[in-house]
Structure 1
Amino acid sequence: MPIWLMPFGAAYPGLLQKFAIYAIFAIGFNILFGLTGYLSFGHAAFLGVGSYTAVWSFKLLTMDVLPAILFAVVISGFFALAIGYLSLRRSGIYFSILTLAFAQMSYNLAYSVLTPITNGETSLQLTRQDPRVLDSMLSARGEGLPTAGLFGHSFSGFEGFYFCAFVLLIAFFVAQKIFASPFGMMLRGIKSNQTRMNYTGFDTKPYALTAFVISGMYAGLAGALLAVTDPLAGAERMQWTASGEVVLMTILGGVGTLVGPVIGAWLIKYFENIFSAFNESTLHRFFDFLPAPVADPVVTVASLFVGEGWQLTLGLLFVLVVMFLPGGIMEGVRRISATFRRHSAAPPNPATQAQPAE
């Protein structure tokens, strides 16, 4: 990715880390939404819980990333178990509203009531006074703030991205096994017709709850990796906008597909970080091949879709995908590949075709 994304201006560690982390977030959300059809508007709560847990692991125990990730996944799983147990008593829009309500409750708790744990609006951050018990036992305390690492080696530059990318590959492999397993077939049955499955004797609630917990653990893993790359945790990661963002990622790439949510996450983060940085001078350099009387109005119109207006471009892209590719970008890929297969297929030989009986 640092090589083939260089022509697109996206080959720097911070953005590549976001590509990997939010791809994990979208893959986990797709296990719930893509397989069972349950649309959650509250998955950002698990993202925030994972971040807070990882930062507390850094503050209390060690700057090694493995304990932080482990604790974040486990705590997020228990949190998802509690919310999922209550939310899955309803289905459809009522389930979505319940998850949104729980997420907003979590956001407000983190922002105000639980300030001793979350540090409120100033975010939970590392300090030099943090105990870091395990690190203090193994080495002397340094002067500045420590950085996250693996087995004593601190991440720097692209190392943090490669670690996140390695975790993404593992997360994708696990999701692939879930999709191809009998458990995944049960989840598809829930999405297809949950009432019919109940009538045939299957208790679908444990399967849906398990999918919800797995999805929440993926979100907690993504939150932990956000804390690994930037050791702070704030309540803004639990806002409803973050939950809506992962829904857009999944729908844009392709609900129920393996690769689609990854592509959707990459596109949205690319628009957010690259298009938002464009300005009129950038557009003038891009359209300098046009005559001046033509270039100026073109730049004026194009400037509405970049910079602060990057969300307008994203919104138009989302509208086009929903209207013409309801299955997301992966549906477009399937259509293109099917067209190529039809053109490359050899015409049938009339001599070898079966003749109708007289």
Structure 2
Amino acid sequence: MSAASMELSSPGPRRLVQPGPRNDAILMLCFAVAVLAMPLWLDPIGAAYPDLMQKFAIYGIFAIGFNILFGLTGYLSFGHAAFLGVGSYTAVWSFKLLTMNVLPAVAFGILFAGLFAAAIGFISLRRTGIYFSILTLAFAQMCYNLAYSVLTPITNGETGLQLTAQDPRILDSWFGVVPEVGLPSTNLFGLEMSGYPGFYFCGVILIIGFYLALRITRSPFGMMLRGIKSNQNRINYTGVHARPYALTAFIISGMYAGLAGTMLAATDPLAGAERMQWTASGEVVLMTILGGAGTLLGPVLGAALIKYFENIFSAFNDQVLHQVFAFLPDGVESVVVGILSLFVGEGWHLTLGVLFMLIVIFLPGGLMEGFRRLGRVAARRRQRRQAAGTASHQGAQ
């Protein structure tokens, strides 16, 4: 059975593998191998270049963190882009003031995003349902507008926060790091965070983030979060106050988003207010739902799918389509290309919308539900073959 089917096992009339230490270890091993081997298995689909694989890893982190809140507790936030932006701005300020080493930036990005999430969550979690979602959206838009106007000395407004040759970088000066000619590049103890080294750094962080999410999901704390999603009123009636658990999940989720923002700045050292826009918050919601909310692998798959559409599928144009369908008669080729051109290039959002609609209608549990169904079909066929083999053996006797 595949790692995906092991992850999504649940008690019921079907014979499914239950979560356990051994199965979790196999899942982690398969996930780590898949992430580290991305340059190999992504090459056939044209997605094996470092910048795109970095995005797969970074937005996978973002989606994993969002899933801890939405998938486990059922609280739908439309404001997680605010924490993404806070992580990015904090990281760039770390590069400007302290050092170009990414580790302090990662630490400060997670810390400040967590503090910011605690403040917003403390207020927003006084409401539930659609009111909670509206509050988080309002806070995110406030942050976006503040970054463009009032907080310009910190965020540099429309231009965005960028590195300059005159930045002090105190720690680098103390430790005798020789400044580069022009703008310096981010590094991990001298290893530049670009190309494949940058991807593997993001990939390792993704694996660590996935492991922490796995431990949270399997822990008693994770069970409490699922109880809140199932019936929060019943949890409160038992004498357990659910809000501190939900607030903790909100903070952890915000810290994941801050980490993702930090990684964006580490691989491309600039920060702009557009990372805090409501569309970025909506994007992570789509990632989680497409992959499968409440699952472990689903959000990562959803993030990879959307980023693939955004960076690869959107590059298709009429010329590429004409090359693909050149075997058709001229009249038929023109019609086919004319129709398909609406769904590629700048129209890739239309394809994504159709895909999202089909998944919501036919696979409410996302892509992971589709893998579950395929696993069940394969299991039933295997059982039929075994039963047929046993019957034929008994008949021969």
1:167-207 deviations in whole A, cap 9, x for unaligned?
00000000000000000000000000000010011110110
**3-state SS of the aligned residue for 1:2?**
helix
Match of 1:165 in 2: 203
1:59-96 alpha-carbon deviations (Å, 9 max, x no partner): 00000000000000000000000000000000000000
Aligned mates of 2:112, 2:325 — CA distance in 1: 51
Alignment deviations for residues 262-311 of structure 1 (CA, whole Å, 9 cap, x no partner): 00000000001111111100111111222222111101111000011000
2:300 corresponding residue in structure 1: 262
Instruction: Output the amino acid matched with 1:122.
Output: T
Q: What residue identity is the alignment partner of 2:387?
A: P
Q: Would you say 1:315 and 2:346 are equivalent positions?
A: no
Give the match for residue 191 of structure 1.
229
Cα shift readout 1:21-71 (whole Å, capped 9, x = no counterpart): 000000000000000000000000000000000000000000000000000
State the one-letter code of the partner of 1:347.
A
> Are 2:243 and 1:222 aligned?
no
Query: C-alpha separation between the residues in 1 aligned to 2:327 and 2:43?
Result: 23
Matches of 1:166 and 1:40 in 2, distance apart? 27
> Would the aligned equivalents of 2:191 and 2:197 in 1 still touch at CA under 8 Å?
no
Counterpart of 1:127 in structure 2 is 164
129-138 or 245-254, which moves further after superposition? 129-138
Q: Which among 193, 212, 220 is matched to residue 155 of structure 1?
A: 193
Pick aligned residue for 1:76 from 102, 106, 113: 113
- The reply to whether residue 115 of structure 1 matches residue 152 of structure 2 is yes
Alignment of 1:281-292 (within 5 A): 281-292=319-330
Which position in structure 1 is the counterpart of 2:63? 26
Match of 2:178 among 132, 135, 140: 140
**What stretches of structure 2 of length at least 5 have no aligned partner?**
1-37, 392-397
> Matched residues in 1 for 2:240 and 2:180: separation?
58
Give 1:152 shift: 2.3
1:285-341 deviations in Å (ceiling 9; x for gaps)? 111222222111101111000011000000000000000000000000000000000
- State the Cα RMSD in Å: 1.0
What is the aligned residue count?
350
Paired residue for 2:91? 54
SS of residue paired to 2:194:
coil
Question: Unaligned stretches of 5+ in structure 1?
Answer: 351-358
> Is residue 239 of structure 1 aligned with residue 277 of structure 2?
yes
| 1:185-243 superposed Cα distances (whole Å, 9 cap, x missing partner) | 00000000000010011110110000000000000000000000100000000000000
Shift of 1:6: 1.2
Partner of 1:347, secondary structure, is helix
Q: Using the TM superposition, give the Cα deviation of residue 3 of structure 1 relative to its aligned residue in structure 2, in angstroms.
A: 1.5
4+ long deviations beyond 6 Å: none
Question: Displacement, 1:139?
Answer: 2.1
Q: Distance in 2 between matches of 1:136 and 1:155?
A: 20
Indicate the larger mover: 152-161 or 228-237.
Answer: 152-161
Identity fraction in percent: 72
CA-CA distance at 1:344 after TM superposition: 0.1
CA distance in 2, matches of 1:61, 1:202: 44
Q: What is the TM-score normalised by the length of structure 1?
A: 0.96
Match of residue 177, structure 1, among 215, 219, 222: 215
What is the distance in 2 between the residues matched to 1:39 and 1:316?
A: 22
Give TM-score scaled by structure 2 length: 0.87
Deviating more after overlay: 132-141 vs 268-277:
132-141
1:13, distance to aligned residue in structure 2 (A)? 1.0
The letter for the 2-side match of 1:91 is: T
Residue 63 (structure 1) aligned to one of 89, 100, 104: 100
The answer as to whether partners of 2:70 and 2:76 remain within 8 angstroms in 1 is yes
Shift of 1:9: 1.2
* SS of residue in 2 equivalent to 1:192: helix
The equivalent residue for 1:205 is 243
Q: Which range is displaced more, 242-251 or 272-281?
A: 272-281
Q: For residue 354 of structure 1, what is the aligned residue in structure 2?
A: none
